[in-house]
Amino acid sequence: MKLLQVPTANLEERIKEELEENPALEQSEEDHDDQFDNDLKDEFDNNAEEDYEPDGSEEEYDNIDISEYVGDEDGEIADYKLRDDNYPEVDDNKVVPYRIETSFHEFLLEQLGMLKLDDRRRRIAEQIVGSIDDDGYLRRDDASIVDDLAFRQNIDSNEQEVEEVIRLIQSFDPAGVAARDLQECLLLQLQRQKAEGKEVEKAIAVLTDYFDEFTKKHYDKIQRGLGMSDEGLKEVIGQIIRLTPKPGGNHAETNKAESYVVPDFFVYNNGGKLELTLNSKNAPDLRISEGYKDMLREYDRASKKDKRQKEAVLFIKQKIDAAKWFIDAIKQRQHTLSSVMGTIMEYQHEFFMTGDETSLKPMILKDIAERTMLDISTVSRVANSKFVQTEFGTYRLKFFFSESLSTESGEEVSTREVKKILSDMIEGESKKKPLSDEKLTEMLQEKGYNIARRTVAKYREQLNIPVARLRKEL
């Protein structure tokens, strides 16, 4: 089950670990290092030349059954191929382009290194930089930083000194770094623009004196308070929304395994017929070491077997059993993935043919579990961690699952279809007069969807769409 959860991007590393731990497992396409095999083989050869030791035969070694390991029928175990020859382009050894990046904190420390600071202030600055989160905000107050310096750095400081160093760090790039809240972050950016000669005084006034009104889009209060025209307010709002609310966002250290989506499946439309293939680039051809099986055959043919040979045979059997288990686990993983994805592809056939989200049928985990005869938890693991590439884009499998909603005619439709229509309605609304949840409910009901206002509000929130008042634009 653990292998089933491993994404394709990490499967190669998992296989490498198993290859390193188990010398009885090898890749067929690479030259195998036979040193370990030769060492064991020498052990057999040396013992074969020695006289048989009667006292070396103990009961625990007397009945070692290796018939299943030395037969001719085990060729099926040795041959293990995951590739699909129908689509050789999927099997190409492509190089994934990992970007070389400097983490956000490394970027700040590089700038800190350019300043002429004494050792005391540099250590204070390093403590502050280490307290900045990945978004670029400093969310620890001055008093807490003073305590950190005392306990961790053995530096007796005060809030005034800490604030001076914070102001110094706030001059670093990107603009807005080390701000304590959003208001300060935006103001730091505007102050930087003002120093560059840009006309941003009104925008600074809005964020300084009318920040709450601005966030709640009470523009009429701002206009009255600052005596601004509609055009003047529109220009100021344009200046503010172009600022960066998370200055560290473009520099934050990322997990490379999560930076790139590696599809687990590929769905092709071959002349009107859908065809599914697995991404097998990270699953090399695995087999049982022939050297290990040869040693077992040699032991089976030998007339004299001493204790050391039998101990070696037991070790080899354990390694071969572990290798067989791992190969079978990989096969089971591929079988389960193919079964689940194939069933999803059949269930959502129309979507994979057209790419139209409104054509998605209501589908829950139980539907796929019943068709594949798998446990719901197994289907859930596949749906939550795997991706499929189609000609319309790459999707996480859980994208295709949704509850149902009834229409006036009694037909069940996917809630994703309703969300798509709701999103299109909001996208096409007049931003000067956005549609309220009540109006959206009426429009959906006119289209035949039996839906309540609170359900519309819930779907809107799931789509990360704000309420009408916050969608309003001048």
Query: For 429-445, what is each residue's pLDDT tens digit?
Result: 888 888 899 989 888 88
Question: 401 pLDDT band (50/70/90 cuts)?
Answer: confident
pLDDT at 255: 43
Length of the chain in terms of residues written:
474
- Average pLDDT in the 337-344 region? 92
pLDDT at 78: 35
- In the predicted structure, residue 346 carries a pLDDT above the cut 90: yes
- In the predicted structure, residue 181 carries a pLDDT above the cut 80: yes
Distance CA 126, CA 291 (A): 56
Lowest mean pLDDT among 7-21, 178-192, 264-278, 295-309: 295-309
Long-range contacts of 292-296 (CB under 8 A, 24+ apart): 292/23, 292/24, 292/37, 292/40, 292/316, 292/319, 292/320, 293/69, 293/70, 293/74, 293/320, 294/41, 295/37, 295/40, 295/41, 295/44, 296/66, 296/69, 296/70, 296/320
pLDDT at 343: 94
- In the predicted structure, residue 307 carries a pLDDT above the cut 60: yes
- Average pLDDT in the 330-350 region? 90
Structure pTM? 0.52
85-131 tens-digit pLDDT: 444 444 444 444 445 556 888 888 989 888 888 899 999 999 999 99
pLDDT at 254: 45
Q: Which of 273-277, 296-300, 431-435 has the highest mean pLDDT?
A: 273-277
127-173 tens-digit pLDDT: 999 999 988 999 889 999 999 889 988 889 899 999 999 999 999 98
- In the predicted structure, residue 73 carries a pLDDT above the cut 70: no
- In the predicted structure, residue 341 carries a pLDDT above the cut 90: yes
Distance CA 179, CA 185 (A): 5
- In the predicted structure, residue 81 carries a pLDDT above the cut 80: no
pLDDT at 57: 45
- Average pLDDT in the 295-308 region? 68
Is there a contact between 69 and 296 (Cβ–Cβ < 8 Å)? yes
pLDDT at 58: 46
Count of CA atoms in the C-beta half-sphere (13 A) of 234? 7
pLDDT at 432: 83
20-64 tens-digit pLDDT: 888 888 876 554 444 444 554 554 455 444 444 444 444 444 555
Q: Which of 242-251, 400-409, 432-441 has the highest mean pLDDT?
A: 432-441
pLDDT, the chain, mean? 79
Question: 411 pLDDT band (50/70/90 cuts)?
Answer: low
Cα 183 to chain centroid distance, Å, stands at 32
- Average pLDDT in the 333-362 region? 89
